[in-house]
Amino acid sequence: MSTALPQEMQQHTYAIMDRVEDSHWWFVGRRAILESFLKGIVDKLPSKDLRMLDVGCGTGANLEMLSAFGSAEGVDVSDDALEFCRRKGLTVQKGLAEKLPYEDGSFDVTTALDVVEHLDDDIAGLKEMFRVTKSGGYSLIFVPAFMWLWGVQDDISHHRIRYTKKEIVDRLKQAGYTVERATYANFTFFAPILGGRTIMRVTGIKPESENNITISALNGVFGKLFSAERHILKNFNFPFGVSIVVVARKK
């Protein structure tokens, strides 16, 4: 999600995302990890009648996951993405991450899952999440790691940055948050992704989307391997990985 229509992900990317996010190992594994973190957050909150917001909800798969924990709604700048969500019966509206169309303290939990890296002013977007989160509430952030892992998907998704753990934690603190947990994730496929992106960079190969690159016969296995990281992440922080997960609280 971003600040102007020309900076949205390329239009065909939403159709590809909608088609693959229920089965592609990356999306399946990421959701399993995020669901585990969300369970930990929900367990800490006194109320079980929760209101949740997914900032930059895309085509809605993560929003569907949030719905299992409470009343969930999404916001996105893309009309194409919102149309995919509405077809699934999800509650969404159009809006910018840097100017969310909600009252102060409206949500118990806010999420930005592979969204912050799209913003021209990431701190402004995080401050808006902080504003609409209730006092004592939580935000769950998921961002790509390390600029030297930059690949085709970063280009077509119009990313501005890939973060180090320190960089995203510092930005969250500037936005007002207390960071309770920050760890790298997708340690399992770090080496293959680094190798694949290096090969594409050297050869100049540019697929329509990296989401199209998978081995169908191994997709389920890869998804289970990536999903299994959630068990390790319950008690251990990875020293590096393809992504970063952060749990931040508005105290």
Per-residue pLDDT tens over the stretch 100-135:
999 999 999 999 999 999 999 999 999 999 999 999
Residue-level pLDDT at 213:
47
pTM for the whole thing? 0.84
Residue-level pLDDT at 1:
39
CATH 3.40.50.150 for domain 5-249, yes or no, is yes
Q: How many helices (H) and strands (E) does the chain have?
A: 10, 7
| Positive or negative torsion for Cα 137, 141, 31, 87 | positive
Secondary structure letter of residue 63 according to DSSP: H
| Each residue's pLDDT tens digit, 61-88 | 999 999 999 999 999 999 999 999 999 9
Residues whose CB falls within 8 Å of the CB of residue 4, separated by 6 or more in sequence, listed in order = none
C-alpha 50/C-alpha 107 separation (Å) is 8
C-alpha 113/C-alpha 132 separation (Å) is 16
* Sheet arrangement for strand 243-249: 92-94, 71-76, 51-55, 107-113, 133-144, 243-249, 178-185
Domain boundaries in the chain? 5-249
The two tokens of residue 26 are 């990356």
- Which residues of the chain are under the pLDDT cut of 50? 1-11, 209-213
Residue-level pLDDT at 103:
97
